[in-house]
Chain A
Amino acid sequence: MQLQAEAKHVEHSEFVSFTVAGQAFCLQITQIREIRRWQPVTVLPHAPADVLGVMNLRGAVIPIYDLSARFGLEQTAASERNVVIVVSVNDKPVGLLAEAVSEIISIDPDDIQETPQVDSRNTMDFIQGIISQNDEMVRIINLNAVISSREQVTQ
């Protein structure tokens, strides 16, 4: 909470960057509850490709999405090198599979650029902006879009 409040007044806010299918993405650090090493999940019957299944998070059953498949990229062949980023959306924990976590980056809101128009509907909806970090493009994920669209599909 404090971090978010500060983000309004202070110039920089912190993001965690990670890779999904070789591309760099990031989420605001306050959106992340924890990061866990990948462990095999329990498959949900009849689930779409981007819903990997469910995982036991300290006694709670949480769904795990494959971000890569979600973005319309190839499915991740999950292994122990991968990570699950646990985020909280509307107080419900959700796990997102990513290839690997890179680093924590500090971003000046002014440096965030609007997502240029590209011909990929899927990706466009899930990216709320891009920034340049060490000459590399990092995509800022629109978490609500990722989760809510998923909920509509599965319900």
Chain B
Amino acid sequence: MTGSILDTFFEECEELLEAMDAGLAAIEEGDQDPETVNAVFRAVHSIKGGAGAFGLDDLVAFAHNFETVFDDVRSNKLELDEKLIQLLFRASDHLSDLVTCARDGGEADQAHHDVLIAALGEYIDGEEEELVFEPMGVGATFDPTPLAEVQEARYDIRFHPLKEMFDTGNEPYFLFQALSDLGALSVRLDDSELPGFEAMEDGESYLSWELTLVTSESRSAIEAVFEFVEGLCELSISSEGEEEDDADALAALNAAFGLAPAEEENALALPLEPPTPETDETPAPAPAPVEAEAAADMEPDAEPEKAAEKTAEAKKETAKSSGPKPTLRVELDRVDRLINAVGELIINHSMLAQQIANLDVTDTRDVETELEGFKNLARDIQEGVMAIRAQPVKPLFQRMARIVREASAATGKTAKLITIGETTEVDKTVIERLADPLTHILRNAVDHGIEKPDVRAAAGKGKVGEIRLTAAHRSGSVCIEVKDDGAGLNRKKIRQIAIDKGLIPENAELNDGEIDNLLFLPGFSTATEISNLSGRGVGMDVVKNAVGALGGRVNISSTPGEGSVFSIILPLTLAVMDGMVVSVAGHTMVVPITAIVETMRGNDDMINNLGADGTLLSIRGSFVPICDVASSLGLRSSSHSEPAGVYLLVETENGDRCALAVDDIHDQRQVVIKSLDGVCGNVPGVSAATILGDGKIAMILDPESIVTASSSAAVFDTERRMNNAIAS
């Protein structure tokens, strides 16, 4: 039970941390809305609250400091300047680390922790309470009484509620009941102050009680009972009580519990019983203060209640229209099962349709209409389910902005992160596992890529370094790219380090690409020489391994003086992709939209032969090689027998263009990518498969490899040269 609540807590923490980051980012962008500040405050506060419940003291203590500073921001005691914002970002980052440590075990960076605590401390008012989290109130009152006091003692208590006490919903009866739990209690009502009925003041409190408690509990336990009414009553507790008539203790108790309130109520002919938990629909009435309003309160008046309901209704409406979208957290397994079940539902539909068509019935129109409805519903469900697993990379990218800020601060450089393609949807698991490698690449980009401001200025660059983080679906893969405009890789240095560390022999002959890839070797880390920022004992090999574990690959390219590009290319396992559904030699296939530059209907005039086999498509005066998809996949022997219906102009990773010839285009839709890993080996020209609405599997084409496979390099080169010649 507690385990699952703890899980919920960590899940909630993730959401809260995300909300916190989004809030801080908005504040940094100049958001002045007090509600934004409030939202961040609440997030920290909730983390603290939950952490406290589970005794996660480190988390509580840090969250408390964070919260204290933020509370001053909230109440405008502190001004949010750039420096403070940066500190808050770092604090939020650290808070996230602490949450992770609490969840997965492990220790947060203590030095970093201390630095942040100290930095936050500078903003904290000296008069601030040392630690708010001392156990207080009710819990503390049950502290074990010292052994010496275990014997019973008698306490005389005089209790006179002030009329304000009744405004707070406190009720003497319940307090006495709580007292009676501590030991033997006798209660005597003192109604001597009670004036005649005519003289009674509205809402005034006339009654007092004299109580005697024999208990082994400490005095503080008794005081704890009256904790809520402290200051709302006259209370005296003495342990030197003398003569008390024990004989009528029971009678007095009865009087207190039943008759005392009844006496007042009798005056207004109200029910005798004290309020019990078993109240009906009417709100529990407070019997003690004698007032006309209270009486009105007791008798359910339909009219005002309806009115209240209406307002409540109206308020509900407004609450619905504003506020954040409610979310639901679901185990991934459940979603996956649903995805599979929906796939089956659609197949089921097509089977049903087939069988109805086979029936010997003349008029199937009605059934077909219903069946069409079934189909549409099944599609809706499928789309809905597909959308659950895929998530935009936006939250991940948001976190990365913080990494860059942090790294910039630590290295004394200025860099800004520009994110592109934030709405690109990637499978949730992939997003989660991308965080670490991306963090590392970005730290690396700031640390080793971006130059110091003066160096940049001298090189004629803007003082602020730019790092572009891009996500896109490309050629049936997810491509995440980190591009900086820094100095580019220092190949000479990389080579030297590799030699020094014994990774390559001194006389090794390596081309630029090979040198660049030395970065990914285990044991290669330039961190120590340059700064301690990216070096937490890990090198770029960790990035390579993490991406490799996702079935992807990392590429690096660099131009001296202009910067470096790290590309992470991931397979689309379970990701959602926009695809164009086409037919190729009678087969339905999907081409990633991102790869398509343009589509054109076929037209004989546009085709130009080149040599024996080559054909070029002329597009507005330029020529692009044609690649017949069917023959490239081995589904049709010759591409020349009939002209293709449609050409898809695609661009490959290295910028070459090619016109893919297909028979027809059906439509454009989102498809779920089903990896073929483990199903069959590498299929040339195909990156993955998907399941279409009719339950059939369609291949997702990889234009890149089709282009490569279709034309022998020589022919392709010839064509390209020709093309360039013609075009220029």
Which A residues have a C-beta under 8 Å from some C-beta of B?
A: 41-47, 51, 53-56, 58-63, 92, 151, 153-155
Contacts and interface: CB of A to CB of B under 8 A. Distances in A.
B347 to A, nearest CB: 6
A117 to B, nearest CB: 32
Interface centre among B678, B679, B691, by most A CB within 10 Å? B679
Interface string B659-692: 0000000000000001110111111111001010
* A-B pairs with lowest CB-CB distance, top 9: A59-B340, A59-B343, A45-B633, A155-B681, A154-B681, A42-B697, A58-B344, A61-B674, A58-B340
A155 B633 contact: no
A61 B341 contact: no
B698 interface: yes
Contact of B341 (A59, A62, A63, A151): A59
Contacts of B339: 59
A45 B699 contact: yes
A61 B696 CA distance: 10
B344 A63 contact: no
Contact of A46 (B633, B675, B695): B633
Contact of A47 (B587, B675, B683, B697): B683
A41 to B, nearest CB: 8
Interface residues on B, range: 20 to 34
Contacts of B635: 43, 45
B699 A44 contact: yes
Contacts of A43: 587, 635
Interface string B451-476: 00000000000000000000000000
Contacts of A151: 681
A59 B676 CA distance: 13
A123 to B, nearest CB: 23
A45 B691 contact: no
B342 interface: yes
Contacts of A60: 340, 674
Contacts, number: 73
11 contacts: A45-B634, A45-B683, A45-B699, A46-B683, A56-B691, A56-B697, A58-B341, A59-B340, A61-B674, A61-B691, A155-B681
Contacts of A47: 680, 683
A59 B684 CA distance: 23
A42 B590 CA distance: 13
A63 B683 CA distance: 13
Interface centre among A59, A60, A92, by most B CB within 10 Å? A59
A46 B634 contact: yes
Contacts of B686: 44-45
A42 B340 contact: no
Contacts of B681: 151, 153-155
B387 to A, nearest CB: 15
Contact of A42 (B344, B347, B684, B698): B698
A45 B341 contact: no
Given A43-B587, A55-B697, A61-B691, A154 B680 contact: yes
A126 B496 CA distance: 55
A153 B684 CA distance: 14
Contacts of B676: 54, 61
A84 B675 CA distance: 22
Contacts of B697: 41-42, 53-56, 61
A97 B339 CA distance: 26
A42 B680 CA distance: 13
Contacts of B633: 45-46
Interface centre among A42, A45, A60, by most B CB within 10 Å? A45
A51 B685 contact: no
Contacts of A55: 697
Interface centre among A42, A47, A51, by most B CB within 10 Å? A42
Interface string B683-714: 11110010100011111000000000000000
B679 A155 contact: no
Contacts of B696: 42, 56
Interface centre among A41, A43, A51, A63, by most B CB within 10 Å? A43
A49 B518 CA distance: 42
Contacts of B685: 45-46
